[in-house]
A and B are shown apart, each in its own frame.
Chain A
Amino acid sequence: MSATSAIEARGLTRHFRDVTAVDALDLTVGGPGVFGFLGANGAGKTTAIRMLAGLIHPSAGSIKLLGRPVEKAEVSVRERLGYLPQEPAFYSWMTGEEYLLHTGDLFGLSRKESRARSAELLDLCGLEPAAKRRVGGYSGGMKQRLGIAQALINRPELLLLDEPVSALDPVGRAEVLELIEKLGKEATVFMSSHILVDVERVCEEVAIIDHGKLLVHERTAALRSRALRPVLTCELRGDTGKIERLLAAESWVEAVNSEPGREEPDMTVFRLTVTDRTEAEVRIPRLIAEAGVGLVSLSPALPSLEEVFIALVGRSQKESREEES
């Protein structure tokens, strides 16, 4: 079987009058797995996802979903697609259960299948208690859960989720993220978000866009270890005044932060930003020996995705401001 990408966008561009919401975006998403699509407010995430879903037309560029061009909006593609808009909307006169049954019908499921699948999804998305209530009376979080449920009814191969957890409470968010992670085992889940701890938890791969342009597209782990200088944490016991001076004098040390150990008062935790990790790993034990302090632990730490995001997007926004002026 030839490997077709779940999403293949080439030069994808969309203008709204004088705003370029998406700017020559090239993106290939394989699968299965969970793919994070990140960007600040107004970066162009929703616009890109709506183009992928075939709801708005690109000003330029092309999109293939599951190997088929999306402009043709083929039924065969839409049968294998699940879509959750940023603000899902429903017929307020239907109950949650009726909406799911209706969605099943639209996918051509038999009534029996529809019923089984709806019951399963109501349970999975924590909507069982509200199943027989009118959607018009649902809270924001309940609507988002129903939105996720309706996107899953056909067991899609490709799921486009525009901020699937933004309206959820912490417990709900954890539940849905767990669900997304599970879905990612079999399907390609493409989710936008700006809640980076969530993305960090479930997405193996991320793309960050800013002003409609792709900044990076990488595996999450690689991005975290590459994008910023490596960080090492080092727990030491004893009088650490000397080692602090010694570390600060080394050329490969960029920054030294220290704080007292939380549990043991005689311990100090150093967070070192280094330019050369290999050198650091060789030199740190020698400096510790020289200073005569006890080494409790030395371990590499990764910058959080949030730190990476802020660094990258911050840099890109600074550059575009400079370009303008």
Chain B
Amino acid sequence: MSPLVAFLRKEMLEQARTFRLAVLLVSFVLVGLISPLLAKITPELVGMIAEDELGGMELIITRAPGVNDALLQYHGNYSLLPLLVILLSFGAVSAEKSRKTAPMVLVKPVSRRSFILAKAAVPAGLLVAGTTLAAGGCLLYTTILFGEVDLPGYLLVNGMLLLGLLCYLALTLLASVLSPGPAAAAGIGLGGFILFSILGALPLIGKYTPAGLMSMAGEIILGRAVSGIGWSVLGSALLSLVFLFVAERVLSRQEL
């Protein structure tokens, strides 16, 4: 077994044994299944509440919920997942440093590049798997509850959401490398999330951020004309690579 494969194996086992795997997959499945259900029952709920609270006042719901409402719910819920990714991975490197398990591994013939690579590849694989589950679940329920979904558009939206999520993962790994311990890593990760959320709303530069990319996916669901999807995708992809590259460079010089 090569050192990289050995460390990948350990990372996968760790995700499973520490219940991160379960938390992540359950969250994705919930996002996939609950979103169309919510879209279906929200108007009815609102109607019921209105009847109770407003003493039988008729609330006129202008239209019945449709495919787009389900997908918008999905988009909204999926947009919370970056927080989960940050919470599940801020300790990836920082905890190994503060608990002193990293020096035990890195005096062995494992390069620091392999270390980071494994730290990125395993959760990235999980995000891909999770997104596949969520997208599949949402597609199934939406089709059952509301009717047919435009498949190419749906795939594009999911691809964009996934790339945004991966970019947040790369950001969290960088935070984890930069910090001496988990607390600082969580701080930097969440700070980065907030920063991107602000930058993502800005004109011109917003679309190059993962937040911008993910909200652009929402525009596509709404059927609005969006331009520069390619640039936005490129922006987040490049940003992810830069985060990983910097993380690797910093770690390779870091004292343990």
- Asked if B3 and A87 make an inter-chain contact with CB atoms under 8 angstroms apart, the answer reads no
* Residues 88 to 109 of chain A near chain B (Cβ within 8 Å): 88-91, 93-94, 102-103, 105-109
| Contact, CB under 8 Å: A55 / B109 | no
Q: A85-B100, A89-B100, A93-B18 are in contact. Are A106 and B256 (CB under 8 A)?
A: no
Interface hits, A31-57 → B, CB 8 Å: 50, 53-57
Query: Among residues 50 to 96 in chain A, which have CB atoms less than 8 Å away from a CB atom of chain B?
Result: 50, 53-57, 75, 78-79, 81, 83, 85, 87-91, 93-94
Which chain B residues in 168-225 approach chain A with CB under 8 Å? none
Neighbouring A residues of B109 by C-beta, 8 Å: 75, 78-79, 106-108
Which B residues lie within 8 Å of A78 (CB)?
A: 107-109
Size class of the contact patch on chain B: 20 to 34
- Which listed residue (B1, B10, B103) contacts A110, Cβ 8 A? B1
CB B96 to nearest CB in A, in angstroms, measures 9
B2 near A: Cβ within 8 Å?
Answer: yes
Q: In the bound complex, do residue A55 and residue B106 qualify as a contact, i.e. CB atoms below 8 Å apart?
A: yes
Q: Which of B2, B14, B256 is within 8 Å of A91, CB to CB?
A: B14
| Cα-based distance from A55 to B256 in the complex (angstroms) | 5
Which of B1, B14, B110 gathers the greatest number of chain A CB atoms within 10 Å? B1
- Closest approach, in angstroms, between the C-beta of A114 and any C-beta of chain B? 8
- A150 contacts partner chain B, Cβ-Cβ < 8 Å: yes
Query: Would you call B107 and A105 a contact (CB within 8 A)?
Result: no
Q: Let me know if A106 and B107 touch, CB within 8 A.
A: no
Q: Which residue of B lies closest to A84 (CB)?
A: B104
How many chain A residues touch B (CB < 8 A): the figure is: 29
Interface of A is mostly: loop
A108 touches B1 (CB 8 A): yes
Q: For the complex, is A111 an interface residue (Cβ under 8 Å from B)?
A: yes
A102:B6 contact, CB within 8 angstroms:
yes
Residues of B within 8 A of A (CB): 1-3, 5-7, 9-10, 13-14, 17-18, 99-101, 103-111, 255-256
**23 interchain pairs, CB-CB under 8 A:** A53-B103, A54-B107, A55-B103, A55-B107, A55-B256, A56-B255, A78-B109, A83-B104, A87-B100, A89-B99, A89-B104, A90-B104, A91-B10, A94-B13, A102-B9, A102-B10, A106-B3, A106-B7, A106-B105, A107-B108, A108-B1, A108-B6, A110-B1
